[in-house]
Homo-oligomer: A and B are copies of this chain.
Amino acid sequence: MKITEARVKATLRRYGYKLTRQRRSIIKAVVSSEDRLTPAALYNKLHQDYPDIGLVTVYRTLGLLDNLGFLCKLHTGGDCHACTIGTPEPHHHLICSGCGKVIDFFCRSMAELEGNLAEETGFTIKDHLLEFTGYCQNCRKDLM
């Protein structure tokens, strides 16, 4: 159920957005990257291959992808507004502090916990955020 370049492009087209060269390059970079990407990091990466791309366009396109539900914002770690491509289905993140790799996972018991919490506190719970951080196998090796 991985999100593909084609799927993102099709969605843009369906909503009447134009497929500019800049948007295509940003979509390609976001979809194919395993790492968390801040707007600035994405801009630097793209600027090598597409020297005429503007930082503003990166911000605008990320905003657009976010509105369409294609982005997952990450919060843990230094960069609070980094993001990766992501499905709209509820899921959680495992993030490597070394290389920035992000692994999605799903945990069935969250729903149960949410139910208990709502009952105990009287809250109506709308959303949640769960992120684990640590070091992947590769980066752990590098640390030794």
A positions within 8 Å CB-CB of B: 75-76, 80-81, 94, 96-97, 103, 105, 107, 109, 113-114, 117-118, 121-137, 140
Given contacts A124-B135, A136-B122, whether A129 and B94 have CB atoms under 8 Å apart is no
Complex CA distance for A49 and B133, rounded to whole angstroms: 41
Docked-complex contact A140 and B128, CB < 8 angstroms: no
Looking at A80, A81, A107, A132, the one whose CB has the most chain B CB atoms below 10 A away is: A132
21 contacts between A and B (CB under 8 A): A75-B76, A75-B80, A75-B129, A80-B80, A94-B117, A94-B125, A109-B109, A114-B132, A117-B132, A121-B136, A122-B137, A123-B134, A123-B137, A124-B140, A125-B133, A125-B134, A126-B134, A127-B132, A128-B132, A129-B129, A129-B130
Which B residues touch A127, using CB under 8 A? 76, 132-134
Q: Which 4 A-B pairs have the closest CB atoms?
A: A75-B75, A125-B134, A122-B137, A128-B132
